[in-house]
Chain A
Amino acid sequence: MFLKKATLPLLIVFGMGLLAFAQEFVPHPLSGDFREEMTTWFRIIGGFAMFIGAYSLLHLHVTRIRRQMAGWGYSVFVFLGAAAMIVVGLWNDGVGPLADAEEGKTWFDWGYYFIQVPCSATIFSILAFFMASAAFRTFRAKNLAAALLLIAAVIVMLGLVPVSETVSKALFGDRQVFARAKDILMDYPNLAAKRGILLGISLGAISQSLRILFGIERSYLGGGD
């Protein structure tokens, strides 16, 4: 069937892309109206897109439980947590999903503040330990490039903290020596490298967009014809 083939979607991509490109250069009010309409459309579609991620995650854990894979028991807690939050969220302290409860005091907020926030914040804070251990064990100035990396890291680490002002005053009589060294490092060699990377990535992104518009890149269509 023609509708199942990739031809029409590819034509839509090209046509939509051309319109999107053109409206950037058309000052007519109709162009602005078109842009506003499209952005409203994609805002609404975006709301539905969030459920795809949720479904994929739940499907993964259902499969784990069904096949009784290693560690399947832990997947039960995913469903427990999700079900609890959805139930209290919809119940909404008695007012239901179509009204607004007094914010900050519901069980839904409790679950957010005392389960989600601490877990989320703590998981990333563990990296501080791993980073310290890895830095001690692997950060060696074995060649010029590694030495440059190490020296830059030490200058920035020192320049970022207030104690460097005390040390700087003691050594040089000026509180801002390390901070200025850090600023010079950031504003010149770091700027050069970041700008080079930014330009390279942007050129790559533009070429990828062109490949999508011309139908060379089709991975977003999914499998099949």
Chain B
Amino acid sequence: MGEPEELSGRKQSAVEMSVLALLVVVFLAVSLARQRHLLAEDPRQSIGIIVAAGLTLVMYSFLYRDNPLFKIAENLYVGVSLGYGAILTWRQALRPDVYDPFFGAPTWSAFSVAALHRTVPIILGILLMTRLSRKHGWLSRYSYALMIGWGAGVSIPIATHSYILQQLNAAVAPFQDAAGNQAASAATFSGPWLWHVALPIFGAVVVMAGTVAVLFYFFFSIEHKRGGSALSKLGIWFLMISFGASFGYTVMARVSLLIGRVQFLLFDWLKLPK
């Protein structure tokens, strides 16, 4: 029973390898044909575009199935990102903040200022890295304690103001605006009253009711019975509409990313007219 399956598996593998070899030949032929002018003018750029197109197509091969070429490209990408991040950290963080203030200080006074303000954070940064050691990892707690304590302390008033008070204010503001419009409006039961008073109030009521319902849905400390159950259900409906809207935007996001890559393949690799 196993033998015909094994043979069929080997046959499929042979077919796949042949198709892959053919695709590689076609890719190289097309690349050389479309990039021949740029290859002559700027070989580094042209080879780069061919490599980028090749990696793009290899990544898309995952749609067929996970394969060795994809895994190689994926791991190469991880390594290149790591190397890039390390060099950027040196150039953009450690060199200007740690190396230059000491070794590039133009005067003894500048060196003293650097020593005064930067010695402690540099020591704390080095202590931070001891987290990787099982024996000396306890030293990193002091660096983490300072950072976490600062972050937690700063975030409380800031989050309270920006994410809670400002949002509550905005939830109430349409009622205040409508009340102001009502007072200012001379007309009643006419167009201006409808647009400037009634509809905004209706909209504000919908938003307020929805906000309360959603908050109530996530409140699990009491059982959602009777009236609570109805409010919770209303919360679910608002959440479903919101998730549907988010899905619609997510579709646009993912398709945009695909459009970006296709534009690269068509206009930069294949040099189609724009």
Contacts and interface: CB of A to CB of B under 8 A. Distances in A.
Note whether A and B contact each other (Cβ less than 8 A).
yes
21 contacts: A10-B145, A20-B149, A20-B151, A20-B153, A40-B117, A55-B132, A57-B78, A82-B79, A90-B87, A111-B83, A116-B80, A123-B77, A125-B257, A126-B63, A145-B240, A148-B241, A150-B244, A189-B206, A191-B210, A193-B210, A206-B155
Nearest to A39: B150
Given A119-B73, A213-B149, 11 more contacts: A16-B149, A16-B153, A41-B120, A76-B75, A80-B79, A85-B84, A131-B254, A145-B240, A153-B251, A193-B214, A195-B214
A47 B159 contact: no
Interface of A: 3-4, 6, 8-10, 12-21, 24-25, 37-38, 40-52, 54-58, 71, 74-86, 89-90, 97-98, 108, 110-129, 131, 135, 144-146, 148-157, 159-161, 185-203, 205-206, 209-210, 212-213, 220-224
B245 interface: yes
A159 to B, nearest CB: 8
B238 A131 contact: no
A74 B252 CA distance: 34
Given A47-B89, A52-B128, A157-B251, A115 B77 contact: yes
B141 A6 contact: yes
- Measured as residues with beta carbon below 8 angstroms from the partner, the interface class of chain B is 35 or more
A200 B264 CA distance: 42
Contact of A199 (B76, B131, B163, B217): B163
A120 B218 CA distance: 36
Contacts of A115: 51-52, 55, 76-77, 80
Interface in B214-261: 214-215, 217-218, 235-245, 247-252, 254-255, 257-258, 260-261
A87 to B, nearest CB: 8
Nearest to A210: B156
A116 B77 CA distance: 6
A201 to B, nearest CB: 8
Q: For the complex, would chain B's binding face be called helix, strand, loop or mixed by DSSP majority?
A: helix
Interface string B203-219: 10011111111110110
Contacts of B121: 40-42, 44-45
B240 A146 contact: yes
A160 B257 CA distance: 16
Contact of A122 (B90, B141, B241, B261): B261
A74 B73 CA distance: 9
Nearest to A161: B252
B94 interface: yes
Interface of B: 44, 48-49, 51-53, 55-56, 59-60, 62-63, 68, 71-87, 89-91, 93-95, 97-99, 117-118, 120-122, 124-126, 128-129, 131-132, 137-138, 140-160, 163-164, 167-168, 171, 203, 206-215, 217-218, 235-245, 247-252, 254-255, 257-258, 260-261, 264
Contacts of A221: 141, 144-145
A196 B213 contact: yes
* A-B pairs with lowest CB-CB distance, top 8: A81-B79, A192-B210, A85-B83, A152-B244, A156-B248, A20-B153, A196-B214, A16-B149
Contact of B248 (A144, A157, A210): A157
Contacts of B93: 43-44, 46-47, 50
A160 B254 CA distance: 14
